[in-house]
Structure 1
């Protein structure tokens, strides 16, 4: 059904408002389910490790911002290829789309292998650099080391998921990511409890589930995908134009992820002196919040596909309207998430930790953050619109300004007086500022210059 609707978009056929909304929902719902399943894995890790005590939780919380940095940069480096695949499919140039895909896999996996070696090399020093207390350093080191070693399989998953979504196939990535969530439960139980590996077992369990699902995802992409499955008669050739375009699109996204992730590392450094309870509550609070913003990232995936294929098909009549509709949908869903976060925060925190102090502090910070979710949703979806259009530099600059000029300075000022709630107030204020900046960019329409 969704490919039929997308084929009408590619063929230049008229689509009324109800058909446009239906197309967005057909793409967004599977992507949202996929994002939720990914977040559920974080819940599984956090709750299983949380049963081992506050120190075990804090050891993961200490390095979590750095795992996001590595994962984010890995994802960003392939964005230039997935966006070009969407453009090529929108233009119905399927041979070029497959060559872009091959080039993306070669470059993306090579980069992930280098990043994995860097991560493994710094793993023993990282917890100390982040200001961890002595009792959590060893577990934090082991958790990050295992994460780094499994990074190439995480990258395979990013690549295959991104290529399938760019082609309009949201269903298969959604189903396989739900499978990954289920596998994570069994692998974690085996490694954390049966083999008694504790914190390191959580990282091994997650890595093994990513390994299995990434191979299944690649198998479907290479042999079953409607537009992207490999053909024997098509030989791979390195195209400098594809690579330069991928760098033009991907480097700003990489800068964006690096800026955002480094800000999270700085954020963790601000939180670390507040003590083990604050570190654990901060980590669990971020995990709990992530469930609430996953609908926004699901709609973002739909926006990237729709805008990318609209640009490729030269659909000037639809591009801006689809950008606005996806933004309204994402913001509306995140407003509902904000209500759930505010009233459901006690339940969310109790699921993650049995420690009463961690739960009480976690509830307090989540209720502060609830007031930022609608505008955060706007920024997430508009970033997808800009990414689909290939306008990635503006997104990076707006994140740079909001993170480093608002969040980090304000968090550093408030931490000493108000503790963790003050730090999270700074984050909530910054997310509202970010949402406003992204909405201004959307409605000024400069991101549509490719259709001029």
Structure 2
């Protein structure tokens, strides 16, 4: 089940490389414009993913319990919640598009492109959230191939539209935003119809809408709060990096895109772990859920460790493909090699978090992410940035990822799979308590 998800994530990584290369060819100011607001877009995307997770985990467990009618009821409720959330986020994003680059202390030339990029991104959120929700529902229902295939198509369309808007119409950074938005619109509609086709012929069963929403909040709210606070920390990191200059902003932005070569496959494995663990929960097989979690973790660590070695060796070549600026190339390769050493621990945090989501255990993992980000990365970045520049910030990142990975490994081994409140609730009746333990 991991293979289609990994292929989709790898195609997404390839898209990021090509996007970065397209924008990077316009110069360091263009790269810095997107890099300035990148953490803000991650924050908003993370909130959408949290909403999707809250409902998709319920779908996985209902499918595992062979209650497909109730699963379809959850899908309907999820779509309503996602629509309302996206409308609010669109309005908020549009309002922030002008002041945000100023608040992030970007240079005057950088602010213009950053504002345009964020405005278009905000306008597309209705479709972005719909695609995220549909993709997660299909995965948790056991259909990994369809969302993976469509996410690959998303990457291909993004490349085509970007080439048209960036180079043919010469719209630069604005063209990059428009290309991505057009891709999201087309694929989100396709993904929406794929969910309908998957549940075709299955009639809704009576299920309390209030209970569905409450359970979704129980699972998704800790993730949303975690994503918000963690991404606020990443925005603060941009504030720390901004005074280091345009070269550092551009190198940081491109290095983040380059690093995704390693961690995106980890997210693919984590998504498969969520599905398999969640369906095992619904089928009342705690030992099988545990084995899926352990196996996925080992697979993720092995895969990302190998990719980390490749990234360390190929860092200079990667940056020669992403930008033609020699200063950005040199600095980006240095920081990318620093982070490569933390990939095995980063893998453990990604995959274990995915496995724990399958049983509704989201609160403690979210707290781990908050503690490590604010207590380790931010503090060390403040201390190291002034003396070591961008290399200091990425050293802080590597140390924090090792610390976070150790926390998740301990959580995995200490998890009491057989006696969690989730399984006890399952024995009592047909409804699941997804609060986790």
Which category of TM-score, normalised to the shorter sequence, fits these structures?
Answer: over 0.9
8 A Cα contact 1:222 1:230, kept in partner: no
Q: After TM superposition, list the pairs within 5 Å mapping 1:155-170 onto structure 2.
A: 155-170=129-144
How far did residue 230 of structure 1 move?
6.0
Query: CA-to-partner distance for each residue in 1:129-160, whole Å, 9 max, x for gaps?
Result: 00101111111000000000001111111011
Query: CA-to-partner distance for each residue in 1:206-256, whole Å, 9 max, x for gaps?
Result: 110111111111112112x1xx2365x548876111110110001001112
Name the CA distance, whole Å, in 2 between partners of 1:209 and 1:37. 14
In the alignment, structure 1 residue 293 sits paired with structure 2 residue 263: yes
Match of 2:183 among 181, 195, 209: 209
8 A Cα contact 1:103 1:238, kept in partner: no
How far did residue 322 of structure 1 move?
1.2
Name the CA distance, whole Å, in 2 between partners of 1:361 and 1:252. 36
Q: Give the 3-state SS of the residue equivalent to 1:391 in structure 2.
A: coil
TM-score (norm 2): 0.94
Residue 102 (structure 2) aligns with: 128
Query: CA-to-partner distance for each residue in 1:19-49, whole Å, 9 max, x for gaps?
Result: xxxxxxxx10100111112222222221111
In the alignment, structure 1 residue 334 sits paired with structure 2 residue 304: yes
Q: After TM superposition, list the pairs within 5 Å mapping 1:379-390 onto structure 2.
A: 379-390=349-360
Name the CA distance, whole Å, in 2 between partners of 1:370 and 1:189. 31
How far did residue 423 of structure 1 move?
0.5
In the alignment, structure 1 residue 229 sits paired with structure 2 residue 192: no
Query: Quick check: 91-100 or 182-191, which moved more?
Result: 182-191
How far did residue 289 of structure 1 move?
0.2
In the alignment, structure 1 residue 280 sits paired with structure 2 residue 250: yes
Residue 392 (structure 2) aligns with: 422
Going from structure 1 to structure 2, the CA distance change for 1:271 and 1:419 (only over 3 Å counts) comes to same
In the alignment, structure 1 residue 311 sits paired with structure 2 residue 285: no
How far did residue 55 of structure 1 move?
0.5
Name the CA distance, whole Å, in 1 between partners of 2:141 and 2:325. 45
Listed as ranges, the gaps of 5+ residues in structure 1 are 1-26
Give the count of matched residue pairs. 422
In the alignment, structure 1 residue 451 sits paired with structure 2 residue 409: no
Query: CA-to-partner distance for each residue in 1:83-138, whole Å, 9 max, x for gaps?
Result: 00001001000000000011011101210111011000110000000010111111
Match of 1:57 among 17, 31, 36: 31
Q: Give the 3-state SS of the residue equivalent to 1:389 in structure 2.
A: coil
How far did residue 305 of structure 1 move?
0.2
Residue 148 (structure 1) aligns with: 122
8 A Cα contact 1:296 1:334, kept in partner: yes
Name the CA distance, whole Å, in 2 between partners of 1:123 and 1:80. 28
How far did residue 78 of structure 1 move?
2.0
Match of 1:360 among 323, 330, 354: 330
Query: CA-to-partner distance for each residue in 1:173-216, whole Å, 9 max, x for gaps?
Result: 11111111111111011111111111010000011011111111
Residue 194 (structure 1) aligns with: 168
Match of 2:272 among 276, 299, 302: 302
Going from structure 1 to structure 2, the CA distance change for 1:356 and 1:91 (only over 3 Å counts) comes to same
Match of 1:66 among 7, 30, 40: 40
Residue 19 (structure 2) aligns with: 45
In the alignment, structure 1 residue 258 sits paired with structure 2 residue 232: no
Match of 1:397 among 367, 376, 383: 367
TM-score (norm 1): 0.91
Name the CA distance, whole Å, in 1 between partners of 2:43 and 2:18. 21
8 A Cα contact 1:132 1:272, kept in partner: yes
Name the CA distance, whole Å, in 1 between partners of 2:364 and 2:417. 9
Listed as ranges, the gaps of 5+ residues in structure 2 are 425-437
